[in-house]
A and B are shown apart, each in its own frame.
Chain A
Amino acid sequence: MEQSELLKRCQRGDELAWEVLVRQHQGRICSIAYGYVGEQDEAMDLAQEIFVRVYNRLETCTDPEKFLSWLTRIARNACIDHLRRRKARPPRRDIPAEEMTNLAAGGPTPEDELYRNSRKILVHAAMQKLSEINREIIILKDIQELPLEEISSLLDLPLGTVKSRSSRARLELARVITDMDSGPGGGSLGAEAV
């Protein structure tokens, strides 16, 4: 289905087109929100807010070719607004990484899938310990795999800075994970040869 036609239909108020658009992008938006807030229920609520915001601003997306970039920008701004608001109030509850097991897909889960999901949970928990800029770079570059130019535009940073930050961000994440994994009760997820 062509993205530009889908977007035009959404802008004309076609509800079925909007439903398809939401389905196409909800996984990505939920992942971005989860990356920023690090708590799944909160991320799902935030992802809803993002889609409401997108729906209300559909008219402002004038270039269908850049829809994904436009969508990511709205998602990022909503996440940052949310985090600012959250700073002003205490968090609802600190959820330990072990509890966040509902990332797994439905149905019977094979052992390796469980192992991979455990690692994903560990990564999400570790991302919350990164500096803001490194977390954003991990979300946008390593997880969403956006082009460096687009990340540079989104974060309003020079391209060179994004490039140099990129490997440092990943290294910081690896260090945090290693520390967490080698702590009490850890050590089972990273024990694998390079």
Chain B
Amino acid sequence: MTPKDNNRDDRARNEQFLRDVLARTSGSGCERACEQLSDLMDGTLVGMDRELVQAHLEHCDPCRSVAVTLGWLEPLLPQMAEVDPGPAFTARVLARTTGHVQVPSRIPAVPVGPAGLMDRVGRWWDRQILRPGFAAQVAYAATVLLVILTSVPGPFREVPVKALEIVQAGPVSAPVIGPAMNRASGWVGVRTEATVTAARNGLGRRLEAAGSALGQRGERTAAGRRDIQTHVEQMIRRAGDGQLGQASYEFLAVLKAGRTIWIEWWNETEDDGRE
């Protein structure tokens, strides 16, 4: 038998002796110690009382186990305030109360036909415009397009020469674009009105409705057209000032306004008769 075993035996004998004495005198202190455990945990038990309870816990395994349990129980209980009943629970409650079956998600239905196509194109465009390096790629593509357009016979062939003249002339010539855009816009307006008038005169109620829709679309896109005009002016001005970075941003704004016009044009219109 080692000295360590001897010590353990001595301790056990002492504990047994103490329990025997307490049993014949005051009784066990466990009840009183446990009554004060909550205060000990809360930190409200101080002074001699605290020392006495701690001394008891040091030697009493059952009370120490209860103290350990109280220690983890206290922070755990508030975490039990909610139980996840699973996704079907809400649907069952709603079915039993309002009588309606819950819609699982709120993703809007994708429209069909041309509107759906526009919707998909719009989403694609939104994804593209958020990509890093998008501006550089667009600028590159625009340059390639311009080179192609200006190198083949057609209405754009003279554009570089005119643009060079504008840039060389400086910002003074930029307002030239404004009147040109106004004239173009006016031409579209006149054409639209003429079309509407012709439709009203000759093609009956349905065409009249279509004409009205055309008018509404014209109104809806007016702001976009004004935007394009403004940004084109700015783009020319910036390019003239040699601020090519700013000019490319204006170019992007032109594209964005163009997209807005596109979407606005295809938006639902009353009496349009489309889905």
Interface residues of A (CB under 8 A from B): 15, 18-19, 22-23, 26-28, 30-31, 34-35, 40, 43-44, 47-48, 51-52, 55, 103, 105-106, 116, 119-120, 123-124, 138, 142-145, 167, 170-171, 173-175, 177-178, 181-182, 190-194
Contacts and interface: CB of A to CB of B under 8 A. Distances in A.
B95 to A, nearest CB: 10
> SS class of chain A's interface: helix, strand, loop or mixed?
helix
Given A18-B97, A30-B82, A190-B65, A48 B70 contact: no
Contact of A174 (B35, B73, B96): B73
10 contacts: A19-B102, A23-B90, A30-B85, A123-B80, A143-B77, A144-B81, A174-B70, A190-B72, A193-B68, A194-B71
B76 A120 contact: yes
Contacts of A40: 83
B94 A143 contact: no
Contact of B85 (A47, A124, A170, A190): A47
A23 B84 CA distance: 10
Nearest to B102: A19
A182 to B, nearest CB: 7
Interface residues of B, number: 38
A181 B69 contact: yes
Contacts of A27: 81-85
A143 B80 contact: yes
Given A26-B85, A30-B89, A173 B73 contact: yes
Given A19-B90, A22-B94, A181-B69, A120 B62 contact: no
Contacts of B102: 19
Most buried by B among A124, A174, A178: A174
B184 interface: no
Interface of B: 34-35, 37-39, 41, 62, 65-74, 76-86, 89-90, 92-94, 96-98, 100, 102
B77 A178 contact: no
Nearest to B103: A19
Contacts of A192: 68, 71-72
A30 B83 contact: yes
Contact of B78 (A52, A124, A145): A145
The winner among B38, B69, B92 for most chain A CB atoms within 10 A is B69
Nearest to B100: A15
Given A44-B89, A190-B69, 4 more contacts: A31-B81, A43-B83, A48-B93, A174-B66
Given A171-B34, A171-B66, A174-B66, A123 B77 contact: yes
A142 B35 contact: no
Contact of A145 (B67, B73, B81): B81
